[in-house]
Amino acid sequence: MDFVQEVDILVVGSGAAAFAAAITAKEKGAEVIMLEKGSIVGGTTMRSGGGFWTPNNRFQKKMGIRDEKKDAINYMARLSYPQLYNPDDPMLGLIKNDFELIDTYYDRAHQAVEFLEDCGAIKTINEINWTGKPQVDYMDHLPENKGVRGRCLYTQNKDGKLSYGGELVRQLKAWANTNNIPIITNHEAKHILRNAQGEVIGLTVLKEGKNTLNFRARKAVIFGSGGYTHNTEFMLHFQRGPHFGGCSAPTNKGDFIRMGGEIGAKLGNMAGAWRAQLILENAIKYPDGVHNVFYIGGDSVLEVNKYGLRVMDEKRNYSDRAMTHFVWNPQYAEWTNMLLFMIFDQRTATYWQGFTPFPVQGTEVEHIITGGNFDELAENISARLKKLAPHTGGFSLDKRFLENLKDTVDRFNRFAAAGKDEDFGRGEFNYDREWTTFPPTIPGVEWPPKDSPNYTMYPLSEEGPYYAVILAAGTLDTNGGPIINKKAQVLDNFDNPIPGLYGAGNCIASPTANAYWGGGSTIGPALTYGHIAAWNAVTEPVKQI
């Protein structure tokens, strides 16, 4: 077999997981090449918020925040596997490998970040939110969480300020370039090569969609290649309900699932994803774009379903909000909440203008539906749904929508005036108050209003205009695929490591399962297990061809 290049470690992808693996391997003395399917370096990390969830980090220690291991792993296990969680069991009710992935994450996440910082690959900063406090987790109110703050870290830009995914990629890429790690774009991994002993020895790669080349890995191949958000067949057959797009890199089509399957890799968490609601019409028109609505900004705003009824605390985190779309009605054989309608008034439209999905005032955008009163709004929503019917299976409003909407708004307004959401507890949690309710985007506004009993809620105006946005479920990316162990080794169907094959990031069965532990729960595991993968891969013996 002929090889165009030969190195110790081949890394597939160029997002957080791939860079963490490549940089760790290089720093440990290995020769590394990164192979990127697309023409742009950075993968989904480039499109992300850029945070990384890091328990027991140095910022917490400096601030005197105790992030005890027992509490942290109990929280992770409870949120990831609520149906199994048993705090009295030594493995918290989980199967051995799943427990070890969580247990190892607590131990190694802060070490991985410190390793990358110590070698000069990144410069980190702790997030202090708009209230002046270190950030809380997404389920801070669960008793297992203990209200621990400060687990979400970001990269720090040259001005010393918190920065996002683009800056994280820039810093990682700069280190790779300075330290002679080739990043070869437009090279798509197609097949995993093995020797007669079943050991992984390299990859067959398609260059620029034309030429097939073989790359040799003396020690190991590490995949950090992303999920399958843009594989429509996989999304239809693996996901638990209808999705209408996602913000991952357009090249994310589940390549590692196919390649791993070819050599007997065990698959897991295939229905899993990091999720967020998205603007339906924008996702249909521009499927490769980023259309997610991560936070429901504003206070005079609520969401209703086709029956005109609220179905959630609108201030909850994006991944869990998206799960409410997968409600099945056994009487009518329908996804009752497949589409939800974000309803708001002029106050919210003005105060939070420019924050997605609210446009800057005076700007006309297609996804905003307007009505001078609720009757007109309902009529215009119905007309818009008719236009979208070819994309939604004919989804339409129920005949009780208008009547229920008016009742729902009246009920919401009473809750807002009293300061207590009797249906969903909106505003009772630190997360609601600190992550998804924040000051208006325009200056000079007195907010919160004086003596506001619950500033996450404000009564909708008694007079129009009123507005609506059609929301659907989408992904940040999926997080199912080949299963790894605590060393980031890919397992076969008999739970044995496949020699020379490692994985991290969204292309594997995530250590988090279907849970979003806190801000940065995608990139945190990606960096950590990318680092762990390389740490172990460099110790592998050289494989014979």
Q: Where are the domains of the chain?
A: 5-270+479-537, 276-475
1 pLDDT above the threshold of 90? no
Cβ atoms within 10 Å, residue 372:
12
Scan for tokens 């004086």, then name that residue.
450
What are 437's two structure tokens? 């309710």
Q: Tell me: the pLDDT tens digits for 404-463?
A: 999 999 999 999 999 999 999 999 999 999 999 999 999 999 999 998 999 999 999 999
Q: Determine the average pLDDT of the residues in 229-254.
A: 97
- What pTM did the predictor assign? 0.97
- Enclosing H/E stretch for 345: strand 339-345
Between CA 492 and CA 351 the distance in angstroms is 54
For the chain, the straight-line distance linking the first and the last C-alpha, in angstroms and rounded, comes to: 8
φ/ψ of residue 112, rounded to 5: -65, -45
The string of DSSP codes covering 461-503 is PSS--EEEEEEEEEEEEE--EE-B-TT-EEEBTTS-EEEEEEE
Where on the phi/psi map is residue 106: left (φ > 0), alpha (ψ -120 to 50), or beta? alpha
Mean pLDDT, the chain, whole residue set:
97
In the three-class reduction of DSSP (H, G, I as helix; E, B as strand; rest coil), residue 5 is classed as strand
Q: Tell me: the pLDDT tens digits for 315-369?
A: 999 999 999 999 999 999 999 999 999 999 999 999 999 999 999 998 989 999 9
What are 217's two structure tokens? 């890995």
Between CA 359 and CA 192 the distance in angstroms is 47
User: Which fold is adopted by the domain 5-270+479-537?
Assistant: FAD/NAD(P)-binding domain (3.50.50)
The string of DSSP codes covering 223-278 is E-----TT-HHHHHHHSSS----BSS-TT-S-HHHHHHHHTTBPEE-TT-EEEEEE
Give the per-residue pLDDT at 451: 86
* Within this chain, domains 5-270+479-537 and 276-475 share the same CATH topology: no
CATH of region 276-475: 3.90.700.10
389 pLDDT above the threshold of 90? yes
Q: Tell me: the pLDDT tens digits for 483-540?
A: 999 999 999 999 999 999 999 999 999 999 989 999 999 999 999 999 999 999 999 9
